[in-house]
Structure 1
């Protein structure tokens, strides 16, 4: 990894959501190999513990902890934040990696469309609840597949559902959330926040939505780079593709659009940032 230095990573705590398989698990394992304490998250306690055990066995690290919550549930997302805070007075880096690609419209227990709930509401809520506890960096996962427009009349697939359209909409929302958080919270007041395209990687999600058209999982190190590399420690409110700064969707640069989305996310989650 270009410019990468492992010094000091043994002291750090990384929390990676959605880390029972795919890029999340790969990133968590890489962090464990670097000697960091890693908080692994899965939808169920069984999945989280299995992944944590896999990572412990693969790395020889005893600094891997399992946490569980179904991120489609606001209640369980809140409980996850409480569980992390109970175990750790601080974390160094939060990686909002968890995501879904839904092939049909489904509503959560809170009445939200599933993709929106997991890919947007959960990271907004979790980040708000943990913001004061994160020392260094927040990494949000967007995608090269991010849409060009936030259709405020169809955020919950109210008018129509399309698997790719709904997913793309959630990923431009993550860009807008990242940019607006950086505008509201300068890096001098808290952790840096950036988002990235994690790479086109042959994961379950990619195969489901696009077929196996990506790179091998072992090469998927963009999340690791943005979470650890000293060369990007001062980046704030940026979007990275292949470890380089990249332009976000054009609409993300419109402050009124970002503020409208932010207000909506506050209302839908019932949560404000500290």
Structure 2
């Protein structure tokens, strides 16, 4: 039995992954308190924490609660995701895609990594969108301007940029923590409520060819508890090469340093979990 932390666990792919991982010691995190309470009833042996990881205070609440409950984490899965047709900001004033896809995994991992021993796994749920946005084009990232402002925001390009930032971070973390297994995975195009704010016909056109949330969860679960320690980037179950820019080590270091400026950390006591 492994101790597994799953961020973004109360709906969609994360919910199905949590169900498939039942039997391990689970810490499950989701933003919606109602869904968290319902998941706690569904998986009564798990510790379910309602917290918004798009803001620093929410991340610190999660870290405090988990740190108070265990001294070891075998697997950390960063799965929280968002996609919005118009620019939104988190409670900290950070563009929401960046806050959820990059700053949340960065911060959660930074605060929980002291509990992850050598051989532990960190799995960042990423996307093939890091290569190119849905409408086509090239994805680039400026470490001096990680946030897309109102004039730069495009729902698909901004999503892709933040997934690229997360992938650069994934590889840089592996270089800095070689004793761990740090990976990113594209689970496939999955039918979830991620794009629920987009026009209905636009969402339906994508979901017609998408995988179920159960099938989307399968590669995440295998990477979490499979016999072989995973490395690098996965397109579902298959090791794959990510975009050329994602292997730029100088850019990765610059993004790391810029992120440190955006999201410094402080520790604080945890709060009670929904259990």
State whether TM-score is above 0.5: yes
Superposition deviation, residue 206 in structure 1:
5.2
Corresponding residue for residue 202 of structure 1: 191
Corresponding residue for residue 136 of structure 2: none
3-state SS in 1 of match to 2:21: helix
3-state SS in 1 of match to 2:252: helix
Q: Which runs of 5+ in 2 are unaligned?
A: 132-138, 267-275
Q: Which runs of 5+ in 1 are unaligned?
A: 1-10, 57-61
Superposition deviation, residue 207 in structure 1:
5.9
Deviations 1:24-74 (A, max 9, x none): 010000000xx21221211133321212212x2xxxxx4211112111211
1:141/1:174 contact within 8 Å kept: no
Corresponding residue for residue 40 of structure 1: 28
2:97 to 115, 121, 140: 115
2:83/2:97 contact within 8 Å kept: yes
1:16/1:39 contact within 8 Å kept: yes
Deviations 1:233-254 (A, max 9, x none): 1x33x00012111112211211
Q: Distance in 2 between matches of 1:200 and 1:144?
A: 9
Runs of 4+ in 1 over 2 A off after TM superposition: 44-47, 151-155, 206-211
Q: Distance in 1 between matches of 2:144 and 2:110?
A: 25
2:143/2:258 contact within 8 Å kept: no
1:200/1:206 contact within 8 Å kept: no
1:193 to 178, 182, 185: 182
RMSD: 1.8
Q: Distance in 2 between matches of 1:205 and 1:76?
A: 20
Corresponding residue for residue 180 of structure 1: 172
1:20 to 10, 14, 21: 10
Corresponding residue for residue 74 of structure 1: 56
Q: Distance in 1 between matches of 2:70 and 2:158?
A: 35
Q: Distance in 2 between matches of 1:208 and 1:219?
A: 23
3-state SS in 2 of match to 1:139: strand
1:21/1:51 contact within 8 Å kept: no
Q: Distance in 2 between matches of 1:214 and 1:153?
A: 35
Q: Distance in 1 between matches of 2:115 and 2:161?
A: 29
1:157 to 148, 167, 191: 148
2:84/2:195 contact within 8 Å kept: no
Q: Distance in 2 between matches of 1:206 and 1:105?
A: 14
Superposition deviation, residue 132 in structure 1:
1.2
